[in-house]
Structure 1
Amino acid sequence: MPANSYDLELRGLPKKERQALQREFARLQREEERRRQRRNRIIRRTSLITIGVALLAVAGLVIANTVRASLIGPANMASDGVLFTGDGTTVTPSTTAALQVGDTPAASSFAPSNGVLIVDLYVDYSSADAAQFETTNGSTVQGWVTQGYATLELHPVALASTDSNSQSMRTANAIACVANAVPSSVLAVHNALIADQATIAGAGLSTDELVALVTKAGVTDAGVSTCITSGEFDNWVVDATNRAKAALPNSDVSSLTTSPTVVVDGKVYTGSNSDATAFEAFVTSTYQAAVPQSTATPTPTPAPTP
């Protein structure tokens, strides 16, 4: 009804009826306004809920991906170690894809009878015994690798502690970070950590000092520094350490209990960590037992010598 007709109708009514009708119209308008406001609130709430659910889904996906990424192992360590071989002049690390979530590490190929020593070194960088062994024998073993007489597989572990702030964890993670990005620099960083073991086991290295040590060893990749700072492979270190404590592949011992654990052609060295002569005698006897004389060629590969 047009407004002027409505006004005329009102004027035609008695005063009391007109006032009652006006009150009723006002009430109806208020009710309509309240319904409109309720509809708007419901729409807003529904929209907010929809947006909230979408945001939660995105956040959940981000969190899931972040957690999943933290469980993936470093590249070039699919066996839980970095494998090095030599050709007479150069040491080369083997490259592998990263160990994915749920995957089982694949032990490196094991064929000691082929005349090339197979050396596996499990090391916790906070261990004084590991530093003693490497100081006494490390350059000798690495020399054999360079000459092609041996392969060396380096397994960083955290036997002393798997707390994320422990030196064992942080140094093992540092090796994993280097292996992931610059595997050719792993031995240089390994040697630098061994040289600084007294500090690692004593006052400890801060994150900045650990990054500085790795940088001084020749690793300038910014991603490695970030990896060390964030503890990117901490979960992998825990898993790899637990796997080694449960079973050692290609070894005559059932599990990892001490650092260093040095396995040569499947046999664990149990002699003195500071006696180079004892270690060389162990290597010689192990090598000779693994390579039958019947398979020797007229010009056999010479036995490893220091």
Structure 2
Amino acid sequence: MSDQRPASARPSKNERRAEAREKARQLRAEHLKKEKRNRLLLQGGVALAAVAIVAIIALVLVNSVRPAGPGPRNMASDGIRIAEGFVAVPTPALPAGDRPIVSEANADGVVDIQIVLDYLCPICGEFEETNGEFIETLIESGAATVEYRPIAILTSRSAGTEYSLRAANAAACVANSSPDSFFAFNAALFDEQPEEGTPGLDDARIIELAEQAGATMSLVEPCIADRGFESWVKAATERTRTGPLAIRGVEVDGIEGTPTIFVNGQQFEYRYPFDQGEFAQFVLQAAGDEFSTTPTPSPTPTPTP
């Protein structure tokens, strides 16, 4: 059966037009509301992005102009001196902006060794590997003190992680709060020395090495994590490059490479690759007649044919 509605129930032509116009008006109103909402969201997003950019710029500027803090305790010369028993020679912290102070002279007969190093420098690592046991013997016997001067000239060569800077800062943290752990920590950093161009050790591993060396972690850990002596490391690195270095008995206008080694004020002009006996012989010659002990390394046995 077909639908036979009365003609009066059907909308008229004018009514249909009015209905269409109303729907069109509603669609336009909805579209305008959506456009306005999107525009507000876009403006808000741009504003938030602008605020974030401003915040980042402000942070960079604040960090770049942040006043340098004092240097670490026990490194007033820009280095830490390790004496008999692997005990550090105490010195006050170097005030920010002050020049480093030449360390006091050793007692007669005690050799004064100074080593400028970078923990990412592969030649520094090879020097440590070749001569570390001999140096340890000198310190343990009281025949010499060794003053370690960590700098960061290879900061840009660790895939963006600034390992050289972070390692030198960690060394300063240990020198400041746990100076008698420095010798062991220094050796540990070289034992696990990364290659140039790699990210290097992360802060967590550096902190573990400091703990294994016996450092007081309640003080050393936050210093490493927050880079407490970053400004000092940068300043010490620049001072080392431009000179003069605070080394007794010698005028040094600055150095460009590491390791740079002095024995009683005489620079060790090493040959590369290192020879196990060369540095020992240089120490004996630099010490002269005052050197009363001869803790030279045992020669490497020659294989029997």
1:120 counterpart residue number = 114
Equivalence map 1:1-306=2 (5 Å): 67-68=66-67, 70-86=68-84, 90-110=85-105, 114-161=108-155, 165-198=161-194, 202-247=198-243, 248=245, 249-250=247-248, 251=250, 253-272=252-271, 274-288=274-288, 291=289, 301-306=292-297
Please tell me the residue identity of whatever aligns with 2:253: S
Shift of 1:301: 2.3
Report the alpha carbon displacement of residue 165 of structure 1 after superposing the two structures with TM.
Answer: 4.2
Determine the C-alpha separation between the residues in 2 that align with 1:269 and 1:225: 35
Report deviation, 1:243. 1.0
Q: Is the 8 A contact 2:86 2:183 kept in 1?
A: no
Match for 2:87: what amino acid? T
Letter in 1 for 2:254: S
One-letter amino acid of the structure 1 residue matched with residue 202 of structure 2: S
Alpha-carbon contact 1:73-1:98 (below 8 Å) kept: yes
Deviation at 1:280, TM superposition (A): 1.5
- Whole-angstrom CA distance in 2 between matches of 1:92 and 1:196: 23
Paired amino acid for 1:302: T
SS of 1:173's partner is helix
Question: Does structure 2 conserve the Cα–Cα contact (< 8 Å) formed by 1:253 and 1:268?
Answer: no
Partners of 2:98 and 2:80 lie apart in 1 by 17
- 100 and 210 in structure 1: CA distance in 2 versus 1, 3 angstrom threshold: same
Gapped regions of structure 2 (runs ≥ 5): 1-61, 298-305
TM-score by length of 2: 0.68
AA paired with 2:260?
A: T
CA contact (8 A) 1:167 1:201 kept: no
Partners of 1:91 and 1:207 in 2: CA distance: 25
Count of residues in Structure 1 that have an aligned counterpart in Structure 2: 229
Residues 252 and 268 of structure 1 are in contact (CA less than 8 Å); yes or no, is this contact kept in structure 2? no
Q: How far off is 1:155 after superposition?
A: 0.6
1:187–1:150 Cα change, 3 Å: same
TM-score with structure 1 setting the length = 0.68
Distance change (3 Å), C-alpha of 1:280 and 1:134:
same
SS in 1 for 2:194: helix
Aligned AA (1:241) = T
Whole-angstrom distance in 2 between the partners of 1:131 and 1:140: 15
Name the CA shift for 1:217/1:91 in 2 (closer, same or farther; >3 Å): closer
Assess if the C-alpha contact under 8 Å between 1:120 and 1:152 holds in 2: yes
RMSD between aligned alpha carbons? 2.6
Give the Cα–Cα distance (whole angstroms) in 2 for the partners of residues 200 and 94 of structure 1: 32
Q: Distance in 1 between matches of 2:210 and 2:106?
A: 34
Partner letter of residue 135 of structure 2?
V
Q: Distance in 2 between matches of 1:158 and 1:173?
A: 9
Q: Secondary structure at the match of 2:145?
A: strand
Alpha-carbon distance in 2 for matches of 1:107, 1:146: 23
Contact 1:81 1:154 in 2 (8 A): yes
- Counterparts in 2 of 1:225 and 1:199: CA distance versus 1, 3 Å: farther
Q: Name structure 1 gaps, 5 residues minimum.
A: 1-62
CA distance in 2, matches of 1:270, 1:202: 29
Give CA deviations for 1:242-283 in whole Å, capped at 9, x if unaligned.
111122233464322111111111111122352111112222
